[in-house]
């Protein structure tokens, strides 16, 4: 694992890759004006380019403001999302990044977190002073950058005790964001420590293995009661109520050995939490988040959207009048797509490995591709109208098929043979009858593609 500085963990190769992708996307945007298309279609294409640009090029760490009492489980939530120890848990350790935006870095990326620890204490005069200081520094930080989502954490076992001070702090923070940035971020409220609700011994994370299912039901009822209570409290606060997206009990408990390996994993509903946070993130934070949290469904969703966007663009490029189309080889878009899906699955952005993957699928890249592009050009030349349609349909089906294969291989861990099957199947399903001739597959290349580092 290379050392990760705050901003500098992209390699030279990755930078080159990103630059190449950026140039392609820019060229496509310039080409849009040549497309013989009308208003809505062009708008749709622009939106698709926007998605690709954001996911491929403008990824940044998602930003969360965590509001909750000392010990509510803010650091544990960060670790639970990563599935690894990236934040210090407990009361004893130094308070890293207190009152400051702090990037928590794991192997697959970073989360930017504003930990608002300490703002609600107030039972003794010195705590009250601390709380004032803490709030002042939080407000300064909020001016620098707004969070994408505000997460409010309350211990399920403490939801009945006076949480009004916590809610005051939450309201103040939310209002400050609006004052500075003119929007109110979505609010997600979680009840942590649900495992400690009665009956205590029931394991929420291993419910099905419990012999007494009545006890399980009783515990779940207590979770629901706590959720209702917190929801009611939040809804009493008018400015917060409109932005409240989710109130749910969870367990984020993970225990690590000194060497960082997991000793106990009692996480419950963390996938649901992850899905909810993903849903409320802007596209720029989604790729990194899906990559970090390793929730397959989210990676698939994003990869599928990117595949559709790329396929539509490829079809558009294929339909461009010559010689404009030659300026944007369809293959380079497809390679960028594969590299991005690989990245979502945790690999490095690597165009070379992506090209090798395409070759291993049996997709012509390189010299053979040039010939095939030549054939496409010839078809257009000889039969302008029909040729254009056929090229577009083939480019569309081929790109969908490449995306399907890349998802199988990089996200689901399929073998290269299985990926090849996915490619063939998807291509056959999406190719209109009579359009196959141009795109006869070459003999499959036998080699495994290299995986890229990381």
Ligand X SMILES: Nc1nc2c(ncn2[C@@H]2O[C@H](COP(=O)(O)OP(=O)(O)OP(=O)(O)O)[C@@H](O)[C@H]2O)c(=O)[nH]1
Nearer to Mg ion, 74 or 104 (CB): 74
Three-state SS sequence of the chain: CCCCCCCCCCCHHHHHHHHHHHHHHHHHHHHHHHCCCCHHHHHHHHHHHHHHHHHHHCCCCCEEEEEECCCCCHHHHHHHHHCCCCCCCCCCCCCCCCCCEEEEEECCEEEEEEECCCCCCCCCHHHHHHHHHHHHHHHHHHHHCCCCEEEEEEEHHHCCCCCHHHHHHHHHHHHHHHHHHCCCCCEEEEEECHHHCCCCCCCHHHHHHCCCHHHHHHHHHHHHHHHHHHHHHHHCCHHHHCCEEEEEECECCEEECCCCCEEEECCECHHHHHHHHHHCCCHHHHHHHHHHHCCHHHHHHHHHHHHHHHHHHHHHHHCCCCCHHHHCCHHHHHHHHHHHHHHHCCCCCCHHHHHHHHHHHCCCCCHHHHHHHHHHHHHHHHCHHHHHHHHHHHHHHHHHHHHHHHHHHHHCCCCHHHHHHHHHHHHHHHCCCCCCHHHCCCCCCCCCCCCCCC
CB of residue 441 to ligand X, shortest distance in Å: 52
Work out what residue 251 binds among Mg ion, ligand X, none; the CB cut-off runs from 5 to 8 Å by kind: ligand X
CB of residue 157 to Mg ion, shortest distance in Å: 18
CB of residue 323 to ligand X, shortest distance in Å: 60
Work out what residue 83 binds among Mg ion, ligand X, none; the CB cut-off runs from 5 to 8 Å by kind: none
CB of residue 90 to Mg ion, shortest distance in Å: 8
Work out what residue 176 binds among Mg ion, ligand X, none; the CB cut-off runs from 5 to 8 Å by kind: none
Work out what residue 252 binds among ligand X, Mg ion, none; the CB cut-off runs from 5 to 8 Å by kind: ligand X
CB of residue 409 to Mg ion, shortest distance in Å: 38
Nearer to ligand X, 120 or 299 (CB): 120
244 phi, psi to nearest 5 deg: -75, 120
Nearer to ligand X, 151 or 390 (CB): 151
Residues that bind ligand X (CB under 6 A): 68, 70-76, 89-91, 117, 192-193, 195-196, 251-253
Work out what residue 260 binds among ligand X, Mg ion, none; the CB cut-off runs from 5 to 8 Å by kind: none
Nearer to ligand X, 156 or 419 (CB): 156
CB of residue 24 to Mg ion, shortest distance in Å: 43
Q: Which of these segments, 52-60, 70-78, 397-405, 412-420, binds Mg ion (CB under 5 A)?
A: 70-78
CB of residue 7 to Mg ion, shortest distance in Å: 24
Work out what residue 91 binds among ligand X, Mg ion, none; the CB cut-off runs from 5 to 8 Å by kind: ligand X
Nearer to ligand X, 122 or 454 (CB): 122
Work out what residue 25 binds among ligand X, Mg ion, none; the CB cut-off runs from 5 to 8 Å by kind: none
Q: Which of these segments, 72-80, 154-162, 191-199, 228-236, binds Mg ion (CB under 5 A)?
A: 72-80
Angle (deg, nearest 10), helices 283-293 and 296-318: 130
Q: Which of these segments, 68-76, 209-217, 311-319, 364-372, binds Mg ion (CB under 5 A)?
A: 68-76
CB of residue 151 to ligand X, shortest distance in Å: 11
Nearer to ligand X, 43 or 257 (CB): 257
Query: Across the strands, what pairs with 153?
Result: 68, 190
* Inter-residue contact 411 to 296 (CB < 8 Å): yes
76 binding Mg ion? (CB under 5 A): no
CB of residue 294 to Mg ion, shortest distance in Å: 22
First and final C-alpha spacing in the chain: 8
**CA–CA gap between residue 338 and residue 341 (Å, rounded):** 5
Q: Find, among 45, 218, 66, the residue nearest to 147 by Cα.
A: 66
Nearer to ligand X, 179 or 200 (CB): 200
Work out what residue 64 binds among ligand X, Mg ion, none; the CB cut-off runs from 5 to 8 Å by kind: none
Q: Which of these segments, 24-32, 73-81, 155-163, 287-295, binds Mg ion (CB under 5 A)?
A: 73-81
Which residue of 24, 75, 120, 276 would you call a contact of Mg ion, by CB under 5 A?
75
Nearer to ligand X, 71 or 441 (CB): 71
Nearer to ligand X, 62 or 68 (CB): 68
Nearer to ligand X, 115 or 350 (CB): 115
Nearer to Mg ion, 97 or 444 (CB): 97
User: For residue 227, what are the CA distances in angstroms to 67, 223, 234, 235, 243?
Assistant: 17, 6, 11, 12, 17
How many residues bind Mg ion, per CB under 5 A?
2
Judged by the rule CB under 5 A, the positions of this chain that interact with Mg ion are 74-75
């Amino acid at each position: 694992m290379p050392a990760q500085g705050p901003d500098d963990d992209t390699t030279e190769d990755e930078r080159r890759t990103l630059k190449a992708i950026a140039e392609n996307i820019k060229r496509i945007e310039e080409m849009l004006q040549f497309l013989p298309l009308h208003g809505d279609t062009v708008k749709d294409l622009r939106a698709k380019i926007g998605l690709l640009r954001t996911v491929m090029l403008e990824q940044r760490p998602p930003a969360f403001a965590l509001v909750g009492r000392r010990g509510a489980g803010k650091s544990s939530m960060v670790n639970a999302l990563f599935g690894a120890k990236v934040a210090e848990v407990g009361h004893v350790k130094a308070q890293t990044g207190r009152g400051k935006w702090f990037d928590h870095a794991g192997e697959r990326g970073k989360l930017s977190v504003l930990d608002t620890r300490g703002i609600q204490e107030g039972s003794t005069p010195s705590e009250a002073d601390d709380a004032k200081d803490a709030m002042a520094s939080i407000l300064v930080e909020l001016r620098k950058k707004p969070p994408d989502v505000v997460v409010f954490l309350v211990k399920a076992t403490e939801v009945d005790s006076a949480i009004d001070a916590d809610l005051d702090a939450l309201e103040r923070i939310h209002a400050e964001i609006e004052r500075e940035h003119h929007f109110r971020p979505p609010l997600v409220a979680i009840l942590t420590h649900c495992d400690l609700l009665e009956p205590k011994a029931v394991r929420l994370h291993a419910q099905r293995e419990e012999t007494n299912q009545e006890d399980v039901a009783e515990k779940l009822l207590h979770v629901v009661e706590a959720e209702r209570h917190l929801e009611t409290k939040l809804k009493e606060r008018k400015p917060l109520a409109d932005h409240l997206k989710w109130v749910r009990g969870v367990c984020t408990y993970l225990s690590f050995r000194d060497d960082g390996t997991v000793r106990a994993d009692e996480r419950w509903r963390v996938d649901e939490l992850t899905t909810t946070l993903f849903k409320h993130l802007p596209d720029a934070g989604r790729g990194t988040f899906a990559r970090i949290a390793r929730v397959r469904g989210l990676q698939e969703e994003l990869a599928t959207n990117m595949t559709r966007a790329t396929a539509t663009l490829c079809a558009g490029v294929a339909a461009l009048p010559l010689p404009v189309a030659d300026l944007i080889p369809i293959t380079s878009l497809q390679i960028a797509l594969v590299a991005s899906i690989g990245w979502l699955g945790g690999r490095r952005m690597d165009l070379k490995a992506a090209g090798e993957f395409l070759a291993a699928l049996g997709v012509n890249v390189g010299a053979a591709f040039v010939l095939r592009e030549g054939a496409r050009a010839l078809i257009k030349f000889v039969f302008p109208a029909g040729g254009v349609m056929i090229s577009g349909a083939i480019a569309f089906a081929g790109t969908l098929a490449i995306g399907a294969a890349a998802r199988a291989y990089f996200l689901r861990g399929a073998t290269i043979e299985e990926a090849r099957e996915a490619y063939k199947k998807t291509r056959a399903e999406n190719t209109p009858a009579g359009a196959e001739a141009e795109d006869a597959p070459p003999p499959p290349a036998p080699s495994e593609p290299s995986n890229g580092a990381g």
